[in-house]
Amino acid sequence: MPLPVPDFNQVFAPGARHEGRGGDVATVRLRRETSLWLPSGRVVACEPFGFDPGDTGFTQQVPPGEYPVELVIADFHGAQRDYDVVAAIKLVIRDEPAVHWEMAVSGDQDVSELGDDEFFGYPVDGGTGGFVDAASIATFGEDYIDRIMMSLDTREEDYTAPCTVTDEEGRVVVVSCSSGDGDGYYPTWVGRTADGEIACFLTDFFILTDDEDEEEPSPAEPAQV
């Protein structure tokens, strides 16, 4: 069966404590410092350097608008050193609990065709992940890469801070962050309320949900790009 859905409400609860790899203990905290403008409501999750102009976004769509972005931070306290890592990035559509989770899909992706522990996700080879609206991608000019690089540079030593790119009207059109431990493939999940409405999109970077004693989950081929 496909990659099981973790209990995100429990795992990512503020103050929750987890034993990580090597025995270091992590405490969860949340950072909600920016919002994302969605002109069409067609959400794309991807590394900010790899947005595809032809990407139409997830089939799970939301009304256009501005939505908060929340980073789930794992503060690790180890015998040798303390450090913090971005465990997940969440686009909050409704400030209501998500009681049901499903894998975010795009195009003709079919979850029922996935093998054991497989998932649809996006590849990262630059250590970052984030969200953008599909309609915004077409507006990016030739200076986009320079702008996203400048955004990443503004973090200085705070590598769990969100990075943003704005449009000409000052609205945030890209939100990105460090992708957990770095490069890999990462799934995005859609959380729904008790009424079936979309509560959030959440990309999990496998920091607090990956059991080191189990085989690593596998991205389906081809991965979402």
pLDDT in tens, 158-170: 889 999 999 999 9
- Asked if residue 223 belongs to a domain, the reply is no
Residue ranges of alpha helices (H) inside the chain are: 8-11, 134-137, 144-153
- Asked if residue 222 belongs to a domain, the reply is no
- Asked if residue 33 belongs to a domain, the reply is yes
Q: How many domains would you assign to the chain? A: 1
**Residue 158 sits in which domain range?**
8-210
Residues facing residue 65 across a β-bridge: 38
Backbone φ, ψ for residue 146 (5° rounding): -60, -40
Distance of CA 45 to the CA centre of its chain: 7
Residue 224 has a pLDDT of: 41
Residue 44 has a pLDDT of: 98
- Asked if residue 97 belongs to a domain, the reply is yes
- Asked if residue 224 belongs to a domain, the reply is no
- Asked if residue 219 belongs to a domain, the reply is no
Cα Rg of the chain (Å, integer): 17
Per-residue model confidence as pLDDT tens digits over 52-100? 888 999 999 999 999 999 999 999 998 778 999 999 999 999 999 999 9
Residue 6 has a pLDDT of: 96
- Asked if residue 177 belongs to a domain, the reply is yes
Residue 22 has a pLDDT of: 75
**What is the number of helices (H) and of strands (E) in the chain?**
3, 14
- Asked if residue 119 belongs to a domain, the reply is yes
Peptide bond into 222 cis (omega under 30): yes
What pTM value is reported for the model? 0.92
Share of the chain above pLDDT 70, in %: 93
Residue ranges of alpha helices (H) inside 86-130 are: none
Residue 218 has a pLDDT of: 67
Distance of CA 2 to the CA centre of its chain: 19
| CA–CA gap between residue 138 and residue 122 (Å, rounded) | 19
Mean pLDDT in residue range 177-196 = 97
Mean pLDDT in residue range 123-151 = 92
At 113 the three-state DSSP class reads: helix
